Every structure is written in structure tokens, then in C-alpha cells.
Amino acid sequence: MLTSTHSSIARPCCIPRSHIPTPRAVLSGLGGSPAPLIGPPLPQNAHLAYDASPMNSQLFISIHIILIVIHVILITVAYLIYLERKISAYIQDRVGPNRVGPLGLLQPLADGIKFMIKEDYQPHGADKYLFSLAPIAIIIPALIGWAVIPWGGYWDFPGFTVPLVGWVLEPSRVLIAAANVNIGIIYLLAVASLGVYGVTLGGWASNNKYSFFGALRASAGMISYEIPLGLSLLAILLVAGTVHPQSIIESQVAGGWYIISQPIAALLFFVCILAEANRAPFDNAEAEQELVGGYHTEYSSMRFALFFMAEYSHMVTSSAFLIVLFFGGYHLPFIGLTHPAATGLLAVGAKFFVLYFKVLLVISFMMVIRWTVPRIRWDQVMKLAWNNLIPAGIALLIITSVWVYLGWTAWWQLLGMNALLTVLIIALMPLLPRSQTNRKAQLAGSRFSPLPGEQVSTAPTSSAARDDQAPAVPSRETVGA
Amino acid sequence: MLLAVSDLSVYVPIGILVLMAVGFAVANIALTLIIGPSREGAVKGQAYESGMNPLMSARKRFNVRFYILAMIFLLFDVEVIFLYPWAATFGQMSPQTPEGAVFLGRIMFFLFTTVVAFIYAYRKGVFRFD
């Protein structure tokens, strides 16, 4: 049942739409309903007339999904800022926002109004056009990246005639996603790489040295972490054999979630989405102690808010992809309503809420990481990407492709492969060349690190310290006596 | 299999989404331009550099390390892009066939060239960041 479902609905966009038997057509062909015989005879090329219509069922549903989900995401982003402030408050033993509305729940609204009525100022040295362009350039990729996420799986659309216009939408099986493109994962990567433009432009156009350094660091970090991101995705695509997100979920339902069979890839992906979103512990772009606010130092009012919203909607998108790729998407084990084969309206709603809840869990985890893990120095961030994550990603890709060639793609075989790779990495680690830069410098000649052959006294020099230390040894002797 | 022209309609929602994102950004900036105050000042127009008077423009030469890093990134990114169609196709092939061995061998050689380039860059000290 599972495999047949998978193979028949894996690539809906490659099958000509006129060849998909719709439930109603199958029923009217089987049953004794004489209705099709009574009406006027259909023209010979009726299916061509359907294709020429400006609207079809998938497009109609997709537009409605866009209109619903973009509001869900924008409201979620507003409340994620509230959630982040609350989580940071509880971690730091504070209360957090609690003045506006019950439990401070109207705080995002107050923040929005405040952003709106602040002055939108440009420093005199700034590049006028690029300065205006940067917030727009960063919010667009953040807001269009989620287009290929299958929020609710397939739905058996019962057919509908649009009033006033008269478009007839045939009953068919539609995907509850903004865009049912069969290259979904490649679309994600293409859009995610565009985010670096807004950062670079914003930092360069501000004509501020802190912004400039922040933009340099951020763009270098973002492009570096894109490569292990792509390599960890390849390990999944090799096992799934497809780049269509819905098909990846279906193969996970059939063969076990990829968090079990590819844990190294999941770890790489999670680290990379933290770095891509410029989240702690990789938030060197806006390290407050060194760079003021980083690339958005000079931005105020709504333009600053756009940078902020871009970061949070990027978190939503990348967490949703983490869920889709590794945690089974909308699927919960042992619950039939969230199985891809369930295509009713209730199942679609249940799947949407399951996916949304999983995304909120991942985002909360990212927030806890931000407020508990110290920021890594910039050169360590870059070394982690180039010296550790990328070699690990290439090794994972090679060993996964060998395993796929041998046909060992059951979850326990892949888990064994991951264990083998971990053992190999740990065994090879001491043999790799170690970087001597940024080691702790020897204080040559000091009394705590003497030169070879030098005799120094480490006894305390001040009389106060000597007095503190003196009674310790005799008192122990008196106790023993 | 040929891709029917009507199948391109799945990309129409992405176009709508891009228009909505542009509209959202532009509308927000326009609103704050209309609602917010606007006052000019010579000191106010300076770049904020932690209270110091900015000494000179920030548009100066910067470390060449970032340029080299971007070039290495291009090498790897293009390589990864080539691997996607291969990965999606290779995952669908039946295991342990001669065609599969050819597929695997060729991409292993491709990866080998990249690994050689990576080791060369490593030995040249591109990834030292000191």
C-alpha cells in the first residue's frame, strides 16, 4: 500500500493532467449514473479547453494557501519576537514583557506601531539607493522561501465553479503548498543564497565602519555555511531519490524518518541553518560588543524592522525545511490522520497543525541555544565551516553514495553507516594537520611559564597573600595530631 | 517525458508571492516615511561609530582574504549544483548494476578533483583566518 501510493503520486507534475483519473470520473465510469449521456455531447478536444483556462485547481488552491500562510507567517514572526524576549527573560531570571495586554501578549502590536512612527533616517554619507534597497532585498528571499513547503500534503479537491468568472475547477488531487514545483529543494537553496545580498548591500551602503565589518563577516559566514548545507541535503536526496519535498516526506513515512537514518546530515543541516540565519552562536555579524549592531547599525524605524523580520521568517522557513527533510514533515507515527494517504479536509488541517507545532519546537530550541551558548569568535566560525563541516559533508556524501550503490538503504544500514563514519572521523582526527595559529601565546620569562631551564619562584610576593597561605599547612598537622 | 506548457502554471504562485513580498516591503517603508517625523541635522547625519567623530569614509580597501574565500566558495557551490541532478537520479537507480557503477565512478572522479582543489587551498593557507 505504501509503496504503491508513493510511486503513483510521487511526481504529479510530470503526468499530463488529463490522464489523472479523478474520483468523480472513476465513479461515473463505473456506476450506473446516466448523467453523462443526457447532456450535450462533449467536443472532441475537451481536455485542451481545460488547459487553456487561466485557472486550474492546483493554482486556485495555491493562491489561497499563499493568502492564508503569509498571514500565518507574519503573525508568527511578530509573536516569535515576543517568544524570544520571554524565553531570554526566563533564562536570565527576569519576567520579560508583561505590561501591554494580558501577559504582554499585545507587545508585538505595540512594537509594530512604535517602528511605524519612528523616523526613517539616512546618514549623509550613505549610498541613497542601495541603502533603501537593502531591507527590501533581504525581506524578499525571507518571505518567498517557504513556497515549496507541503504544509498539508495532498487534498482531494472536490471541484468548484468560481462565481462571477465562471471558471470550472475540476475535482483533482492538489498539493497544499504555495507552489507544487518538482524541484522544491533546489528552489530552497536558490532562494536561501539570495539573502546574502541584503546583508552585503546594507553594510556597504551605510558608509559606517562597523556596518562594513559586520557585512563582511556575515557574508563570508553565510556563503561558507551554504556548502555544508548543500552537502548534507545531498545525503538525503541520494536516499530519497527525489527533490520534491512531498515525495521526501512520503519516503520518510515508508522507510523511517531521516533523523534516524542520517543523523550526521541532520546535525550538519541544523548547524548550517543557524549560521545562515545569523543566529547565535554564529551571530558575529551583529556582535554587540565589537560591532554595535553590525550591518543594520544605521537603520531605523521600519527598515530596521524589515531586517529583524527577515531573520525571524528565515528561521521559520529553515526550521520548516529541517522538519520536512529530517523529522517526517507533517507525519506523526501511529496517527492515521497525518499519514500521506489521508487526503481529507480534516487530515489537511491536522497535518498543518502538526507541521506548525514541530516548527515552533525547533524555533524554541534555537532560541534556547541563543541564550545559553556563548558566541564563537569569527575565525573559529570560519574554521568550523571549512576545516570541519565541509570535509565531514564530503565524506558523508561519498559513503552515502557507496551505500546507495550497494542498495543498503534500510534505516538500520544507514544508521550503521553513520556510526562507521563517526568512528572514522574520531580515528582520523589526531592524524590531521593542526593549525598552530591562535594558540595561547607563551608568556616567555614570566614566573608562571618559565623559559626552558629557567628557575623561578612561584611563591606569593605580597605579604598579604603570604599571610593568607601560611596557616593552611600547620592547621592540618594540628588536626592530625 | 515532455513537460506540458500548462505545467509551468505551478510557477505562477511564486510570482504572486514575489509581488506580495515586494509590496509588503515597499508599503512598510512608505508608511513609515509618511507617518514618521523628519528632521535634519549636521551631527545627526554622521555615521554612528560609538560616539567618536568618524574619521574618514568606510569605503576603503579590505582584506583580500574575503575575495579568495568567495572564489573558493564559487568552486564548491558550482560543484554542489552539479551534484543535485546526479543525486536525484542515482537514488532512483536499482542497486549494483553496471550502469550504477559507471555513474558512481564518474562522480567519484569529479569529487576527487574537488577534494584535490580543497587540499591545495588548505595547503596554501586560505582557511587559516588568523
- Taking only the tens place, the pLDDT of each residue in A16-59 is 444 444 444 433 333 333 334 344 444 444 444 444 556 778 88
Instruction: Transcribe chain B into DSSP letters.
Output: -PPPGGGGGGGHHHHHHHHHHHHHHHHHHHHHHHHS-----TTTTS--BTTBPP-S-S-----THHHHHHHHHHHHHHHHHHHHHHHHHHTTSPTT-HHHHHHHHHHHHHHHHHHHHHHHHHHTTTT---
Round to whole Å and give the CA distance between A189 and A245. 13
- B34 touching A, CB under 8 A? no
Q: Select B5-124's CATH number: 1.10.3470, 1.20.58, 1.10.1740, 1.20.50.
A: 1.20.58
Q: Where is pLDDT greater, at A162 or A44?
A: A162
pLDDT per residue of chain B (130 residues) written in tens, 0 to 9? 444 445 677 788 888 889 999 999 999 888 888 888 888 877 777 777 777 777 777 788 888 888 888 888 988 888 888 888 888 888 888 888 888 888 889 989 999 998 998 889 888 878 877 6
Chain A residues with CB under 8 Å of B49 CB are: 208-210, 292
Chain A residues with CB under 8 Å of B94 CB are: 407
CB contact under 8 A, B20 and A241: no
- B71 touching A, CB under 8 A? no
Residue A175: which domain range? 58-429
Chain A residues with CB under 8 Å of B50 CB are: 210, 292
- Residues in contact with B27: Cβ distance below 8 Å, sequence separation at least 6, in sequence order: none
Answer whether residue A470 is part of any domain: no
Closest-CA distance of chain B to residue A225, Å: 10
CB contact under 8 A, B84 and A237: yes
Round to whole Å and give the CA distance between A133 and A124. 16
Taking CA–CA distances from A7, the nearest residue in chain B reads B92
Facing A136 at nearest CB: one of B14, B26, B118: B26
CB contact under 8 A, B50 and A210: yes
Answer whether residue A223 is part of any domain: yes
The total domain count for chain A is: 1
CB contact under 8 A, A237 and B91: yes
Phi, psi of B36 (to 5 degrees): -70, 160
pLDDT in tens, A81-137: 899 999 999 999 898 888 888 888 898 899 888 888 888 888 888 888 888 888 999
Phi, psi of A45 (to 5 degrees): -110, 55
Facing A180 at nearest CB: one of B10, B28, B36: B10
Answer whether residue A453 is part of any domain: no
- pLDDT at residue A400 is higher than 80: yes
Task: Centre a 10 Å sphere on the Cβ of residue A92 and count the other Cβ atoms it contains.
Answer: 9
Answer whether residue A72 is part of any domain: yes
Taking CA–CA distances from B101, the nearest residue in chain A reads A405
SS3 A234: helix
Closest-CA distance of chain B to residue A127, Å: 11
For the entire predicted model, the pTM comes to: 0.81
**Domain segments of chain B as ranges:** 5-124
- B90 touching A, CB under 8 A? yes
Facing A207 at nearest CB: one of B4, B12, B58: B58
